[in-house]
Amino acid sequence: MLEGLWSILCVMIGFGLAELTQLFKAWRIEHSLRLGLVAELETLGRMIPHKVNVISQAETALKSSRIMNTSSTHFPDHIYHRILETAPDVLSGAERDCLHILYERLRITDQMMDGLEERFHQISATHSVEIAVRGTAGALDDLKAGLSHSGDLANSVIKGNPIDVYASGQAT
């Protein structure tokens, strides 16, 4: 009888230790993903002024009726996508919404900057160069406007107080 109790107790202890080990592993993975996300967001914060500078240079060139190649290093998004694929529960709903808007803006910025020169040539081939300059200048203004708020979105997530992008615009 006593041997049976000891056996049951050992099985329960083993089960408990296995569960604690799994919880610890999950915590470590979530913790490392969060640290990686913060590092990625900090990188974005450092890259945004560089992109704005490239856009400003392109605007200056455009004022002289010249087009400048605006392709540059793309914004990183590996950790964000890894979190969405492997551990979406790491993010709160407000963080997920905020990051979705941020990363979509950055993806569109990269895409538009990569194709800006081609777009200019397409417009000027079918319309006048003046129209191409105005259209490209408008696109550059849109890119700068989008980037002007992107740093705020990234910083709000880093600080643990994500901007509520679908409601009043206030931090949650």
110 within some domain: yes
**For position 168, what pLDDT does the model report?**
56
Distance CA 99, CA 23 (A): 26
170 within some domain: no
Q: Give me the number of domains the chain comprises.
A: 1
Domain with 77, as residue range(s), is 2-158
> Which pTM was predicted?
0.80
**For position 172, what pLDDT does the model report?**
42
102 within some domain: yes
**For position 63, what pLDDT does the model report?**
84
115 within some domain: yes
**For position 9, what pLDDT does the model report?**
81
164 within some domain: no
Rg (CA), the chain: 24
pLDDT tens, position by position, for the chain (172 residues)?
678 788 888 888 888 888 888 888 877 888 888 999 999 999 999 999 999 999 999 999 888 878 888 888 899 999 999 998 888 888 898 999 999 999 999 999 999 999 988 888 888 889 888 888 888 889 999 999 989 889 999 999 999 999 988 875 444 4
